[in-house]
């Protein structure tokens, strides 16, 4: 069985910009300067930009990535550049305002989370995992894995931002779950490494951030929302809601994806990633609901609506991505902006 350590030894290259916002950000990082007039134009553009559009989402992704791995040839000092942070704040407000208007959060986090436990309420059999399990083709699973690599190669990192903002029961439980995500002390079991092994079996490039230029806007938004919630202490409740949603929905979805890989005859390393999540996340969802969410709201009940918002925002963005993927696949078309080259797929 192939196992790899985290695929983050090299920094990725800056992506190709696709509009005024991403052009300003990428241009500044490439030239090592952000002229005042370029910042002014970008801030003006942020006020009217499509909040879920690729230009804004790519610009946000690049700025958030400065807090993770960074980019090749980009000075680490850009992470806290006040001009880029000002522009990021403008784009975040645009994104957040749209999410608050569109995600229809409930006021009761407990009820919102309970609905996720009943398949059929949030999942009607037409999700991406249902499609891949039943009749998805190998090229479609490869596209899905390529897009998900933008998160899974740094799996659990965005949620770690919330740890210093929790205390007591919520902190202890959150750390326990994250400990498992990071391999429970075993480097070979770090989930990001397991996903890299999955990518090898699917004939994909495991370089961190490799598929950024290929990713459509809905895929970027599902990753950006984690960083948005994680980097703002005032959104800690929303991040906990996001984390709870991921853990509650992961086990059944992972079972379907593992079944899909077995049906497609892909190698054991690929199957291991999802098999691991079937078992681990079935336990995690109980811990997260009872101790992370319960502990947080026991100490800070005023965050109930924020937790609910994190749940509904996560579902809203995941549904947008699913719609993008399924609509393209049903037409026999790639869901990626750039086609995947053929790769040697591992067999059982």
Integer CA distances (angstroms), 193 to 76, 153, 208, in order = 25, 7, 11
Q: Is 217 domain-assigned?
A: yes
Q: Is 336 domain-assigned?
A: no
Query: Are the C-beta atoms of 117 and 248 separated by less than 8 Å?
Result: yes
Q: Hey, what are 204's tokens?
A: 């994909």
- β-partners of residue 347 are 266
Residues 284 and 172 in one domain: yes
φ, ψ of residue 266 in degrees (nearest 5): -85, 160
Residues 91 and 112 in one domain: no
Residues 120 and 87 in one domain: no
φ, ψ of residue 347 in degrees (nearest 5): -110, 155
Task: Write out pLDDT tens, residues 164-182.
Answer: 999 999 999 999 999 999 9
DSSP letter assigned to residue 266: B
Q: Hey, what are 128's tokens?
A: 């991406």
Q: Is 14 domain-assigned?
A: no
Number of domains the chain contains: 2
Give the count of alpha carbons within 13 A of 309, CB side only: 21
pTM of this structure = 0.94
Domain span at residue 28 reads: 20-101
Task: Write out pLDDT tens, residues 201-257.
Answer: 999 999 999 999 999 999 999 999 999 999 999 999 999 999 999 999 888 999 999
Write the DSSP string, 125-172.
S-SHHHHHHHT--HHHHHHHHHHHHHHHTTTTHHHHTTGGG--HHHHH
Residues 309 and 210 in one domain: yes
Cα separation, 84 vs 63, whole angstroms: 8
Integer CA distances (angstroms), 180 to 41, 59, 175, in order = 45, 32, 9
Q: Hey, what are 313's tokens?
A: 């925002």
Residues 53 and 124 in one domain: no
Query: Are the C-beta atoms of 46 and 94 separated by less than 8 Å?
Result: yes
Exposure string (b/e) for 207-237, b if CB count within 10 Å is 16 or more? bbbbbbbbbbbbbbbbbbbbbbbbbbeebbb
Task: Write out pLDDT tens, residues 15-62.
Answer: 999 999 999 999 999 987 877 888 889 999 999 999 999 999 999 999
Q: Is 344 domain-assigned?
A: no
Report residue 277's pLDDT band, with 50, 70 and 90 as the boundaries: confident
Cα separation, 2 vs 62, whole angstroms: 31
Q: Is 125 domain-assigned?
A: yes
CA-wise closest residue to 241 among 112, 94, 76, 63:
112
Cα separation, 209 vs 8, whole angstroms: 9
Task: Write out pLDDT tens, residues 243-273.
Answer: 999 999 888 999 999 999 999 999 888 889 9
Residues 175 and 59 in one domain: no
Query: Are the C-beta atoms of 297 and 109 separated by less than 8 Å?
Result: yes
Residues 181 and 240 in one domain: yes
Q: Is 116 domain-assigned?
A: yes
Report residue 294's pLDDT band, with 50, 70 and 90 as the boundaries: very high
Is the CA virtual torsion 267, 272, 273, 274 positive or negative?
A: positive
Residues 185 and 261 in one domain: yes
Which of 101, 127, 155 represents a domain boundary (last residue)? 101
Residues 159 and 61 in one domain: no
Task: Write out pLDDT tens, residues 298-314.
Answer: 999 999 999 999 999 99
**Average pLDDT of span 103-123:** 73
Chain mean pLDDT for the chain: 91
Q: Is 318 domain-assigned?
A: yes
Residue 124 clears pLDDT 80, i.e. is over it: no
Which of 41, 66, 101 represents a domain boundary (last residue)? 101
Integer CA distances (angstroms), 167 to 24, 81, 174, 298, 299, in order = 39, 30, 10, 11, 9
- β-partners of residue 266 are 347
Cα separation, 15 vs 214, whole angstroms: 10
Residues 61 and 146 in one domain: no
Instruction: Report helix angle 82-102 to 54-65, nearest 10.
Output: 130
Q: Is 5 domain-assigned?
A: no
> pLDDT at position 24, please?
94
Residues 65 and 51 in one domain: yes
DSSP letter assigned to residue 290: I
Report residue 346's pLDDT band, with 50, 70 and 90 as the boundaries: low
- β-partners of residue 15 are none
Residues 87 and 163 in one domain: no
Q: Identify the CATH number of the domain in which residue 246 sits.
A: 1.20.910.10
């Amino acid at each position: 069985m192939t196992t790899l350590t985290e695929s983050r030894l090299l920094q990725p290259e800056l992506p190709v910009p696709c509009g005024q916002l991403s052009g300003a950000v990428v241009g500044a990082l490439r030239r090592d300067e952000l002229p005042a007039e370029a910042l002014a134009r970008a801030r003006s553009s942020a006020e009217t930009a499509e909040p879920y559009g690729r230009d804004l989402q790519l610009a946000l992704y690049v700025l958030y990535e400065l807090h993770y791995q960074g980019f090749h040839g980009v000075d680490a000092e850009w992470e806290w550049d006040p001009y880029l942070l000002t522009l990021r704040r403008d784009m975040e407000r645009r994104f957040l305002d749209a999410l608050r208007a569109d995600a229809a959060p409930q006021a009761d986090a407990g009820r919102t989370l309970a609905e996720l436990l009943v398949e059929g309420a949030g999942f009607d059999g037409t999700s991406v995992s249902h499609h891949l399990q039943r009749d998805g083709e190998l090229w479609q699973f490869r596209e899905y894995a390529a897009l998900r690599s933008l998160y899974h190669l740094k799996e659990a990192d965005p949620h770690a931002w919330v740890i210093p903002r929790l205390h007591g029961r919520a902190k202890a439980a959150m750390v326990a779950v994250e400990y498992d995500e990071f391999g429970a002390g075993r480097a070979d079991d770090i989930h990001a490494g397991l996903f890299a092994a999955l990518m090898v079996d699917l004939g994909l490039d495991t370089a961190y951030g490799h598929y950024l230029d290929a990713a459509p806007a809905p895929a970027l938004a599902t990753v950006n929302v984690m960083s948005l919630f994680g980097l703002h202490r005032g959104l800690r409740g929303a991040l906990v809601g996001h984390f709870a949603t991921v853990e509650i929905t992961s086990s059944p979805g992972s079972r379907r994806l593992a079944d899909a890989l077995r049906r497609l005859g892909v190698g054991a390393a690929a199957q291991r990633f999802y098999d691991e999540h079937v078992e681990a996340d079935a336990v995690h969802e109980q811990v997260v609901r009872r101790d992370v969410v319960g502990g947080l709201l026991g100490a800070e009940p005023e965050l109930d609506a924020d937790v609910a918002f994190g749940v509904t925002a996560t579902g809203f963005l995941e549904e947008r991505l699913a719609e993008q993927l399924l609509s393209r696949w049903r037409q026999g078309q790639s869901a990626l902006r750039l086609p995947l080259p053929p790769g040697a797929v591992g067999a059982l």
